[in-house]
Chain A
Amino acid sequence: MISGIFHSTYEQDMALRHTHAQKIRLALMLLFLVVFPFFANRYALTLANQIGIAVIGAIGLNILVGYTGQISLGQGGFMAIGAYTAGILTARMGMPWWASTLIACFVTAGVGALFGIPSLRLKGLYLAIATLAAQEIILWVVTHWKVVTGGVDALVVPNPELFGLRLNNDFNFYWLVWGLAILVTLATVNLFRTHFGRAFTAIRDQDIAASVMGVDLFKYKLLAFAISSFWVGLAGALTAHYRSIVTWERFTIDVSVLYLAMIIIGGLGKVTGSYLGAIFMTLLPAVLSNLGRALKGTFPIVETIVPFIQQAVFGLVIILFLVFEPEGLNRIWKNIKDYFRLWPFSY
């Protein structure tokens, strides 16, 4: 048990990880990430890639909802913009995938900032409705702007390639998506050590006080929307390149609700929370359906009710977390870490 954390240099003070235990955990985690794809079968790799994309999207949404306190129901729509922009640029204009992904991120950031304009006047529930409008408007434009998006037909995106190596089979894509996820994590964690990040958290905590202190609310709220949408656009573009087919049905309001659930369950306002929430919500349906199949032999009734159980569990999990642990899985994980760190004096 350590009796305190002492720093003697500025570098130590500014480090992201202070204690040995933290550094060892980080190293183990990275080791697992590196070793995992060599032992995983295709199904596990698909899940891992899906989790990777969800992590990037969840970090993006967490910046907006968790750190800046602006509720957003537009996640699905913004991902759609990222996906369609990347898809159209690659499929119709023949751009390389990395260029189209980058442009898609900027386009989504711009649109996100545009739909963030109501946040100047609206807060809480009203802003949620305004972002819901964003979701519906974006989907409507995507399905009806035939000239650009092909309307309701699926958009087929050619496979991304790097030096002739095809990137969107499950194994290769794993490296791309998790490399980008680590990059996004580092960028976000460092964002909240800059004055932008402090402005965002000030807005969340007490926006009137922040405004009195000199934080330009409108500018920083728009910036939060833009940065958040940048990452969400990245997640959308990666979906387009991974799945090769972009359809609007992938970006409905269900997706927005799913991502909100991810960050609520994982922990608002913490990057770790985005990770935990993304992993939990992506694996939940898979675990439930496999559990249902395993139990089918002994309890035949299970097979008919498993689909309904999945729906019920989704809602139940959100309610239980909000009632018993509003700070989500992140707080539970923190409690576990603290227990071992402070043992035998955990009180």
Chain B
Amino acid sequence: MSRIRTLLAVLVAASLLLTACGAGAGSAAPIKVGAIFDLTGATADVSTPYSEGVKDFVAWKNANGGIAGRQIELVSADYAYKVDQAEQLYTQYVQEGVVAFMGWGTGDTEALRTKIAEDKIPFMSASYSAGLLDMTAAPYNFLVGTSYSDQAVIAVRWAMDDYKAKGGADQFKVALIHHDSPFGQSPVADAKAYTETNGGAFMDLAMPKGATDYVAELAQMKTFGAQYVIIQNVSSPAAVLLKDAKSQGFGAQFICLNWCADENLVKLAGDAAEGVMGALPFAPPSVPVAGQTDPEAFLKAKGSSLTEKGLHYTQGWWTMAVMAAGIEAAIKAGKEPTGENIRAGLESLQNFSTGDITAPIGFSATSHRGNSMLRLYKVSGGVWTQVSDSISAGQ
């Protein structure tokens, strides 16, 4: 019993020793950033291009002088959306001296929320839950995308204006259909409050796990009389919903929030996706903006392109870019890049431009909400085209 245990302890120690050797020394001490991605789990289809965006940004930045002359060393691993694995990797990387952390999903972001506050490690992820904006509960979390609540409120506001412009006489009714999880329920409360304050009627439905069609949910929405339907889910179930809606002749206008408004939706739903609106905090490759120049050039040198990788690549690229900007701000203020100083650096960012990929990002000591504006897009002819300028959630 003790033999196997000591053997295993030696093995773990050996592997830890090997990783310490494999780190590689730089001339000026490299800045270590930890990252975890879901490459083999439930959300792997969107996390893989996101991870490539993060890693490629680090490679690009290092090739272009690093942060104030210091190289970024990204230590990353796959955690397959298993929360225990995420915690193991987090503890390992913190011990190795990472000063910032890039998470991925709601599961790991929530689970690590208190630990990162204790360890004072600034954290960015692709979970835009409004609960992370509570400065007492999540003092070290930063949101680069617009929060789900803000996205939903903007969608409702657009829908109300659109309904009035079309001369709608009856009461405005909107339904929010969502993934049956914390991610899905995140925008419900704020969207409901906003709709009802403005005299509308609100309904929310959960999309059951593993459902192969959503005919029942569509029937419920038809009975409710919703003129607009907001979808808070990922592309695959949203595509199934759109196809069912088309075959059922359901005439409401669909608005996708950021996780279903991507190229996958168009690919999966085909012409059922035509005319669908999207609330995208990140500009898709089909709409050329300045912030796509660097990633496009980087990918072209590798024989790929942004259209091939998709908008989640840009999302990962620019999320890492904002973290790097925070680190740079800390170094420029003359401080060592430790977790606390990087947080201060991030909080000093005002109007940080992402080349129009998102609205300008700004943080402060009282708010880690990057922006509360986004543009609306519509699927026309199989691609996402821009239909509005930045709309604010007004909060």
Whether the pair A293, B22 counts as a contact (CB closer than 8 A) is yes
Q: Is B111 touching A47 in the complex (CB atoms < 8 A)?
A: no
Question: Given A247-B107, A307-B80 in contact, is the A275-B15 Cβ separation under 8 Å?
Answer: no
**Which residues on the A side are within 8 Å of B64 (C-beta)?**
none
Residue B135 lies at the interface, judged by CB distance under 8 Å to chain A: no
B40 and A308 within 8 A (CB): yes
- Of the candidates B77, B95, B182, which one forms a contact with A289 in the assembled complex, judged by CB atoms under 8 Å apart? B77
Interface residues of A in 215-254 (CB under 8 A from B): 243-245, 247-250, 254
Complex contact A290–B114 (CB within 8 A): no
User: CB distance A294 to B88 under 8 Å?
Assistant: no
Tell which of B15, B40, B95, B180 touches A290, judged by Cβ atoms closer than 8 Å: B15
A contacts with B: majority SS: helix
Contact between B15 and A245 (Cβ–Cβ < 8 Å)?
no
**Is A152 touching B18 in the complex (CB atoms < 8 A)?**
no
A40 shortest CB reach to chain B, Å: 9
Do residues B5 and A249 form an inter-chain contact, with CB atoms below 8 A? no
Stretch at the interface among B6-14, B238-246, B292-300, B326-334: B6-14
Name B96's closest neighbour in chain A (CB-CB).
A43
What 0/1 pattern do residues 273 to 304 of A give for CB contact below 8 A with B?
00110010001011101111110110000000
Q: A276-B4, A289-B77, A307-B40 are in contact. Are A156 and B137 (CB under 8 A)?
A: yes
Interface size class of B (residues with CB under 8 A): 35 or more
Are A297 and B12 in contact (CB-based, < 8 A)? no
Counting CB contacts under 8 A, is B2 at the interface?
Answer: yes
Complex-state Cα separation, A222 to B91, whole angstroms: 40
Chain A 315-344 against B: per-residue CB contact (8 Å), 1 yes, 0 no? 000000000000001000100100000000
Given the complex of chains A and B, what is the CA–CA distance between A54 and B84 in angstroms? 11
State which residues 88-107 of B face A: CB under 8 Å.
Answer: 88-89, 91-92, 94-95, 106-107
- With a cutoff of 8 Å between Cβ atoms, the chain A residues found around residue B111 in the complex are 154, 243, 245, 247, 249-250
Contact at B113–A154, with CB atoms within 8 Å? Answer: yes
Whether, in the assembled complex, A92 has its beta carbon less than 8 Å from a beta carbon of chain B, the answer is: no
The answer to whether B335 has its CB under 8 Å from any CB of chain A is no
A47/B15 in contact, CB under 8 A = no
Name the residue in B5, B11, B106 with the highest tally of chain A Cβ atoms < 10 Å from its Cβ.
B5
A146 (CB) vs chain B CBs: closest residue: B185
A151 within 8 Å of B (CB atoms): yes
Q: Mark B1-39, 1 if CB is under 8 A from A, else 0.
A: 111111011011101101101101000000000000001
B40 touches A244 (CB 8 A): no
With both beta carbons as reference points, the residue of chain A lying nearest to B6 in the complex is identified as A32
For the complex, give the distance between the alpha carbons of A90 and B95 in Å.
30
Within 42-58 of A, Cβ neighbours of B (below 8 Å) are at 42-44, 46-47, 50
Asked if A247 meets B80 with Cβ closer than 8 Å, knowing A43-B92, A294-B22, the reply is: no
Within 8 A of A (CB), among B67-89: 75, 77-78, 80-85, 87-89
Q: Is there contact, CB below 8 Å, between B4 and A152?
A: no
Q: Is the CB of B94 within 8 A of A42?
A: yes
> Whole-angstrom distance between the alpha carbons of A153 and B81 in the complex?
17
* Chain A count of residues within 8 A CB distance of the other chain: 51
The answer, yes or no, to whether B181 is at the interface (CB within 8 Å) is yes
Complex: chain A residue closest to B185, CB-CB: A152
B110 at the interface (CB under 8 A from A): yes
> Does B381 reach chain A (CB closer than 8 Å)?
no
Please tell me which one of the listed residues B21, B40, B95, B110 contacts residue A154 in the complex, with CB atoms under 8 A apart: B110
B168 CB–A CB distance under 8 Å: no
Contacts of B113 in A (CB 8 A): 154, 245
Distance to closest chain A CB from B234 (angstroms): 15
- Closest chain-B Cβ to A185's Cβ sits at a distance in Å of 11
Check A310 against B16 for contact (C-beta < 8 Å). Answer: no
Complex CA distance for A286 and B19, rounded to whole angstroms: 12
29 example contacts (A-B, Cβ-Cβ < 8 A) are as follows A26-B1, A29-B1, A32-B2, A44-B12, A47-B88, A50-B88, A151-B185, A154-B110, A154-B111, A154-B182, A244-B114, A244-B115, A245-B111, A245-B114, A249-B83, A249-B107, A250-B107, A250-B111, A283-B8, A285-B85, A287-B11, A290-B12, A290-B16, A294-B21, A297-B22, A306-B77, A308-B39, A310-B80, A333-B1
A interface with B by C-beta (< 8 Å): 25-26, 28-29, 32, 36, 41-44, 46-47, 50, 143, 151-154, 156, 243-245, 247-250, 254, 272, 275-276, 279, 283, 285-287, 289-294, 296-297, 306-308, 310-311, 329, 333, 336
Residues of B within 8 A of A (CB): 1-6, 8-9, 11-13, 15-16, 18-19, 21-22, 24, 39-40, 75, 77-78, 80-85, 87-89, 91-92, 94-95, 106-107, 110-111, 113-115, 131, 137, 180-182, 185
Given contacts A46-B87, A279-B5, 6 further A-B contacts (CB under 8 A): A250-B84, A250-B107, A285-B85, A286-B12, A286-B92, A307-B80
